[in-house]
């Protein structure tokens, strides 16, 4: 018996040593070094990889130094203030660059440097390529063969936004998109002020506010620890912060579950809002009877609710905030929009057909999206070894698309790319720059944002009603 126990203990010890060797030596030391060498052979250079820490300390230091940087209100090149490491490394490594960031961190703060095609970095043990060429971006985002999928998401962010349209891929994405699409058809988006809070889920403002608050707290927790080095398994320890995070996750799950159960109990699922559409689509009719052919499970519907509560609220509020800022800085445009609103909508509540006539309003909103995009970075990874431009990528190499950098590319947007100029959109989105797919605020087909029509209509409605009643300055 004792010998059997010794053998078992020896086996467990050997397994533990093997796992430790695989993780600490292979994943955190040998593999990153091999990746650096492979990309250097292809002409990609950058900051050195440091064991476990990556470039976290450098990023933290540069961001702390940039905190005191003040920008003129008409200076819209905020990159030196927000992502100074991007600016420094781009200048230092010119065309191609590689750098590292501590493992298990949220992707959109790590990346950079470009050449007119790509750049390499390490997200801890995970190599990342930053591309800064629109044609390569098109190959990644508009690939009809789905050779590139979304990168794995930080666990806290996944709990916040759920496994909805924004995070799933492949057949799962197609299934979710099919169910959700009818809710965003233009004939469904006939918004007025008194129904806008119910458009997505038919819920009250108070219920929605509780969901937003829980998600905001999770967001703050995530952003506050982006550059911290986290050890494997740390997220499972009952620390004070982890217990608070688990409480928020459970609260969010329970609130959305109760909302769905109340809707099901009332037997009123089809009010044309997003939740009603998803609940109706959960069953198909056959021979006059409902069959239990579930299209989206309750958990999947909850995840979609998380996605649209957060994405729909956070992105639109971001767009409205910066629109108000820009109209304060450029009062001549504020007056132009006010005249347009009063001409097309009068002083009453705007209707959908009125909002569609607000051409200059659309131009200003699109220019705001260009300069202050709610999404700074998009991340994708190849599902197999492949070539992108002249660069050989391995399966899983994360590709980072830096939207603010692309939106300031003077070769595409012209010499005044850093300036606020709504007139560039006078003839529509596809003619605003030298290439038709230059604006990435809503990504690009076939994975473009399903809620873009809703977001633009909502933003127009809010701005129209503000302009009808108020003028504003900084």
DSSP 400-411: EEEHHHHTT-HH
Residues 395, 461: Cα–Cα separation, whole Å: 44
**Tell me: the pLDDT tens digits for 14-70?**
666 666 566 566 667 777 777 778 877 887 777 777 777 777 778 888 989 998 889
Tokens 């997220």 belong to residue: 235
Q: How far apart are CA 318 and CA 227, in angstroms?
A: 24
Distances (CA, A) of 15 to 10, 234, 349: 8, 20, 68
pLDDT at res. 145: 65
pLDDT of residue 126: 62
Distance CA 417, CA 422 (A): 11
Top mean pLDDT of 58-62, 231-235, 286-290, 463-467 is at 463-467
Residue ranges of domains in the chain:
131-469
Number of Cβ within 10 Å of residue 153's Cβ equals 17
Whether 449 has a binding-site annotation, put simply, is: yes
245-266 average pLDDT score: 82
Task: Work out the average pLDDT over 257-270.
Answer: 74
Q: Which residue has 């209707």 as its token pair?
A: 351
End-to-end Cα spacing for the chain: 79
Task: Give me the CATH code for the 131-469 domain, please.
Answer: 1.10.630.10
Q: Assess whether pLDDT exceeds 70 at residue 436.
A: yes
Per-residue confidence band for 118, with pLDDT thresholds at 50, 70 and 90: very low
Q: What percent of the chain has pLDDT over 90?
A: 24
pLDDT of residue 393: 85
Confidence at 240, pLDDT banded by 50, 70, 90 = confident
Mean pLDDT of the chain, nearest integer: 77
Structure tokens, 300: 């999947």
What's the burial of 118, exposed, middle or buried (CB within 10 Å: 0-12/13-18/19+)?
buried
> 183: closest CA among 165, 168, 171, 158?
165
103 pLDDT more than 70: no
The first and second tokens of residue 186, run together, are 């233009």
Q: For residue 196, is pLDDT > 50? A: no
Q: Confidence band (pLDDT; 50, 70, 90) for 203?
A: low
Beta strands in 318-467, from DSSP E residues, in sequence order? 377-382, 386-388, 391-393, 398-402
Which tokens is 198 given? 């119910």
Residue 22 has a pLDDT of 60
Of the two residues 355 and 447, the one the predictor is more confident about is 355
**Rounded Cα–Cα distance for residues 361 and 345 (Å):** 12
45-77 burial code (b ≥16 CB/10 A, e <16): bbbebeebbbbbebbeebbeebeeeeeeeeebe
Distance from the Cα of residue 303 to its chain's centroid: 16
CA distances from 343 to 84, 355, 459 (A): 44, 11, 18
Give CA–CA dist 100/127, Å, rounded.
8
pLDDT of residue 192: 39
Classify residue 8 as exposed, middle or buried by CB count within 10 Å of its CB (0-12, 13-18, 19+): exposed
Q: How confident is the model at residue 366 (pLDDT cuts 50, 70, 90)?
A: very high
Residue of higher predicted confidence among 199 and 59: 59
- Helix 298-329 vs helix 240-265: angle between axes, to the nearest 10 degrees? 110
CA separation for the pair 459, 321 (Å, rounded): 10
The residues facing 285 across adjacent strands are 290
Q: In this model, does residue 468 exceed pLDDT 90?
A: yes
What residues are paired with 443 via a beta bridge?
Answer: 441
Spell out the alpha helix ranges (H) of 196-355: 205-223, 240-265, 274-281, 298-329, 331-345, 352-355
pLDDT of residue 96: 44
Find the mean pLDDT for residues 343-366.
94
CA distance 49 to 126: 11
Confidence of residue 268 (pLDDT cuts 50, 70, 90): low
The tens digit of pLDDT for each residue in 271-294 reads 556 777 777 777 555 434 444 444
Reply yes or no on whether the pLDDT at 455 is more than 70. yes
* Predicted confidence (pLDDT) per residue in 144-190, tens digit: 667 888 776 666 666 666 676 666 767 777 777 777 777 666 665 65
Q: Which residue has the tokens 């504003």?
A: 472
Token output for 459? 């933003």
Task: Determine the average pLDDT of the residues in 105-116.
Answer: 30
Find out whether 109 and 59 touch, Cβ atoms under 8 Å. Answer: yes
| Least confident interval from 101-105, 172-176, 303-307, 337-341 | 101-105
Beta pairing partners, 100: 122
What is the model's pLDDT at position 190?
A: 57
Q: What is the mean pLDDT of residues 103-132?
A: 46
Percent of the chain with pLDDT over 70: 70
Q: Please tell me the pTM assigned to this model.
A: 0.78
Helices (H), 129-225: 134-141, 155-161, 170-180, 205-223
Mean pLDDT of 455-466: 92
**How far apart, in whole angstroms, are the C-alpha atoms of residue 35 and residue 126?**
9
> When comparing pLDDT for 446 and 285, which is higher?
446
pLDDT the model gives residue 239: 81
Better pLDDT: 124 or 371: 371
CA 294 to chain centre: 28
- The pLDDT of residue 108 is 27
**Gap between the Cα atoms of 442 and 416, Å rounded:** 22
Residue 454, pLDDT score: 83
| Higher-scoring residue by pLDDT: 306, 76 | 76
């Amino acid at each position: 018996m004792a010998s059997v126990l010794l053998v078992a203990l020896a086996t467990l010890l050997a397994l533990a040593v093997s796992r430790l060797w695989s993780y600490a030596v292979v994943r955190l030391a040998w593999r990153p070094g091999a990746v650096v060498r492979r990309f250097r052979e292809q002409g990609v250079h950058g900051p050195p990889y440091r064991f476990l820490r990556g470039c976290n300390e450098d990023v933290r230091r540069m961001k702390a130094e940039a905190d005191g940087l003040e920008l003129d209100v008409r200076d819209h090149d905020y990159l030196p203030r927000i992502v100074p490491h991007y600016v420094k490394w781009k200048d230092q490594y010119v065309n191609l660059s590689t750098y590292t960031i501590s493992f298990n961190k949220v992707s959109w703060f790590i990346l950079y440097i470009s050449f007119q095609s790509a750049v390499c970095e390490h997200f801890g043990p995970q190599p990342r390529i930053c591309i800064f060429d629109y044609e390569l971006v098109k190959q990644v985002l508009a690939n009809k063969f789905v050779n590139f999928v979304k990168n794995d998401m930080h666990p806290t962010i996944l709990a916040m936004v759920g496994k909805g349209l924004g995070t799933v891929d492949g057949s799962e994405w197609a299934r979710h998109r099919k169910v959700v699409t009818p809710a965003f058809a233009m004939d469904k988006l006939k918004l007025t002020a008194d129904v806008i809070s119910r458009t997505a889920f038919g819920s009250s403002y108070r219920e929605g506010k509780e969901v937003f608050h829980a998600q905001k707290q999770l967001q703050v927790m995530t952003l506050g620890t982006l550059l911290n080095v986290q050890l494997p398994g740390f997220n499972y320890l009952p620390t004070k912060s982890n217990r608070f995070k688990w409480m928020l996750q459970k609260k969010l799950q329970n609130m959305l579950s109760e909302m769905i159960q109340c809707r099901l109990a009332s037997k009123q699922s089809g009010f044309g809002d997003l939740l009603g559409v998803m609940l109706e689509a959960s069953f198909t009719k056959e021979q006059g009877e409902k069959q239990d052919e579930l299209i989206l499970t309750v958990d999947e519907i909850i995840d979609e609710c998380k996605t649209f509560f957060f994405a729909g609220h956070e992105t639109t509020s971001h767009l409205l905030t910066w629109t108000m800022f820009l109209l304060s800085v450029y009062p001549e445009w504020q007056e132009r929009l006010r005249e347009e609103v009063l001409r097309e909508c009068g002083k009453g509540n705007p209707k959908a057909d009125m909002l569609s006539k607000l051409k200059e309003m659309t131009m200003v909103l699109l220019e705001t999206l260009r300069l202050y995009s709610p999404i700074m970075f998009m991340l994708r990874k190849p599902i197999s070894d492949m070539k992108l431009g002249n660069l050989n990528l391995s399966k899983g190499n994360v590709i980072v698309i830096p939207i603010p950098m692309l939106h300031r590319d003077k070769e595409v947007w012209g010499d005044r790319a850093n300036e606020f100029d709504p007139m560039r959109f006078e003839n529509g989105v596809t003619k605003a720059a030298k290439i038709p797919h230059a604006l990435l605020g809503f990504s690009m087909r076939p994975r473009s944002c399903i809620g873009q029509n809703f977001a633009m209509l909502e933003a127009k409605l809010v701005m129209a009603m503000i302009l009808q009643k108020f003028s504003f300055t900084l």
